[in-house]
Structure 1
């Protein structure tokens, strides 16, 4: 990230000073796939952007074009949308052989829907711009957020095992491969056997300003977690989006896959993307803490907003039919919407801290969730909770947090129905986006029902 770059002329000067020959322009679609194109330096300097067909926001994770989407939303002429670079996101591509920069773009276009009844702005459908809209509402209410993600992923071999399932990748630090034959939770030795991969990945993150602070082996075979330093929400969502791309490419270069799919192994814990979130008011104080250092009612209300919208939020935090297998291990992933202090079985955890650093951790998202949409709904729902003084359910801090009262949807179809009738998420994300997202996910459900191997085939390298 280059926060000092705010204009096209400053960006062009940086490209010239760094002898950049090509520029990649990208945006995140609804499934977190990076879409865009690569231009020559000269072409980018002339156009200062690019155009792409708007239909790219209507694709499924398989690249499918659902008929319902193009019957009701995108016109059959497939009009263009403009990709407008966000200049401060200009960074070098550390993996390109030819000096290349990459920049994140927002989208601009308006069109009349296919059914002729609605006028759409592409910004209403773009995940990154939806997060920007929620952040503007948060700022208007007198708050700023800082967030820190914890992202899990698996390193696996592309070859299947004898049982047809995936295999944990073998360590690559020596001439004899390290084989992980049993659980190695927090094993520094097993993690060190992947030093060549993590050294290259960490260096790539540093080149792009991705603020990772460490990594370690998690509880399942071949599972790792990467931690990020706290930062501004949009920059952190950008960082997660970029990290996943880098991890997938670096892993391929080392002969394995880095996958963020929710549940690579049926009998192992799944992949999470936990977010630690704190707020500051206009005076710089922490609204989650009262003047005497005790928890402020706004902390409860923020969590109340999360609880009130959680069932609908799961359509985005667990975005595929496969994602719901992860929730069948409540010892490893929350399966109900309870909250508590320092309770890792709860969906919403308040870590122990002093008053100035009081924060909440949202533990529901899977590693396959779109980071922009995840943060947009979390901050939007938390803000609604504070504004409406929504009281959460009882605190659960001294026992496993499982209850029928707060049970989450069992599948994506149920979660989509909840999303469509949730007023808090309707306000945070907008009706146009929820309509489009629901149509795409309903089409994916049909695709997945017809293909027993859908998750491995389509989510292993894309989610």
Structure 2
């Protein structure tokens, strides 16, 4: 570690009178795991690379349980080393005491990246692109709901009370006044994002009651994944400050649309030229092959972009979410939409991922599918004409178990994502699915208790 780099971070922390630092690593679900250190302890750990956590955090489920038996993870739970990525150091704006946060890479004792860490997986995909002279550019769009506090999980969610004193009823797509009902929350959100250098752009009201969407400006995939990771935490904190919840569940309400994480993606060369469009503005073969790869591999990548049992409640016919991998220009019923743009802005919008997905894995999986298409020169289908929901059947898995089965069969995708990662990821999801299977739902009691 260069001494100058350490001096700079020392000065940065000193100038801001930081007393504590949150050292975070995203787990399989995108939850922030890590340690909180006093500043002096952090600097010592950073210098000597002594900040450690057990490898098993990547085998931890969304419920906090662990894998019982793993083909990859050791039963003795050895430590991994957390190496803070100093480029990600930011202040935590919602604390009274000056506190910083930093996202860490997980590395082995020999200095190599931990292959099962989600941030490492995204770096792996970006390296594959770089080896070909390709540099992907992404722009996520994240949807989420605001909800009244839900203390008892047995009760359904309800929309929160807005400035008018009433909960939102009906649907208010693109409604300005409907967004302004929660101005206090969104003002904090923009302030907190600015303080953390989270580059968000447009705020719109989505179709659901108290559902909104935030668009990120396009940029480097790793930086955007970091920002989306921090953004989720930020929005939840903003909402809590005002006595409500913010949720990124894919389908939190029974009769409302689900929440997505649309990923706009393109590929440029080292000079920044968009490789998806020719000089005269036509689609290039590379662009079409990228779409072909998404069409072929997205159904088997679903477990990484729709990672929870709840995710598949969003993927239903006529519910503002795609059910297939058709593509078309300016058509929001398809899974792969090509927005109207000039040659410089030519891109594909992957509309399949849910808001509940780990942003590192969702971006990595989406780019991996496109990469395989470009490498193998996969031809896409013809662009879809008309409404895609009318197409016969689903092209996407209908539940998590189906998605995991499809992922298991795709050797190409497992190879580019990393065999060890895919193995542990599937082990984590198996544990989560088995836990879900132990729960008896209200629907079962309502319709089966006295009728079968």
TM-score of the pair, normalised by structure 2 = 0.92
Q: Does 1:396 align with 2:384?
A: yes
Residue in 1 that maps onto 2:5: 7
Residue in 2 that maps onto 1:33: 31
Counterpart mapping for 1:77-88 below 5 A: 77-88=76-87
SS at match of 2:174: coil
Question: Structure 1 segments of 4 or more deviating over 4 A?
Answer: none
SS at match of 2:355: coil
Residue in 2 that maps onto 1:91: 90
Do the aligned partners of 1:160 and 1:167 also contact (CA within 8 Å) in 2? Answer: no
Residue in 2 that maps onto 1:274: 262
SS at match of 1:151: strand
Residue in 1 that maps onto 2:361: 373
Residue in 2 that maps onto 1:65: 66
Deviations 1:48-73 (A, max 9, x none): 1511111111111001012123xx33
Do the aligned partners of 1:155 and 1:222 also contact (CA within 8 Å) in 2? Answer: yes
**Aligned positions, number:** 437
**In 2, Cα distance between equivalents of 1:422 and 1:210:** 35
**Partner residue of 1:410 out of 376, 398, 414:** 398
SS at match of 2:323: coil
1:279 deviates by 1.4
Do the aligned partners of 2:113 and 2:120 also contact (CA within 8 Å) in 1? Answer: no
1:45 deviates by 1.5
1:76 deviates by 2.3
**In 1, Cα distance between equivalents of 2:382 and 2:390:** 12
Q: Does 1:192 align with 2:196?
A: no
Residue in 2 that maps onto 1:358: 346
Residue in 2 that maps onto 1:100: 99
Residue in 2 that maps onto 1:42: 40
**In 2, Cα distance between equivalents of 1:428 and 1:215:** 35
Q: Structure 2: state its 5+ residue gaps.
A: 443-452
Q: Does 1:74 align with 2:62?
A: no
Residue in 1 that maps onto 2:118: 127
Counterpart mapping for 1:161-200 below 5 A: 164-171=155-162, 173=163, 177-200=165-188
In structure 2, relative to structure 1, the CA distance for the partners of 1:452 and 1:197 (3 Å cut) is farther
TM-score of the pair, normalised by structure 1 = 0.90
1:146 deviates by 1.6
Deviations 1:151-184 (A, max 9, x none): 00000112479x931101111x4xx523212212
Deviations 1:180-223 (A, max 9, x none): 12212211111111011111111010011101112121101121
Deviations 1:327-380 (A, max 9, x none): 114441000111111110110011111112111100000000011011111112
User: Alignment RMSD, CA only?
Assistant: 2.2
Do the aligned partners of 2:315 and 2:321 also contact (CA within 8 Å) in 1? Answer: yes
Residue in 2 that maps onto 1:51: 52
**Partner residue of 1:207 out of 195, 217, 221:** 195
**Partner residue of 2:22 out of 16, 20, 24:** 24
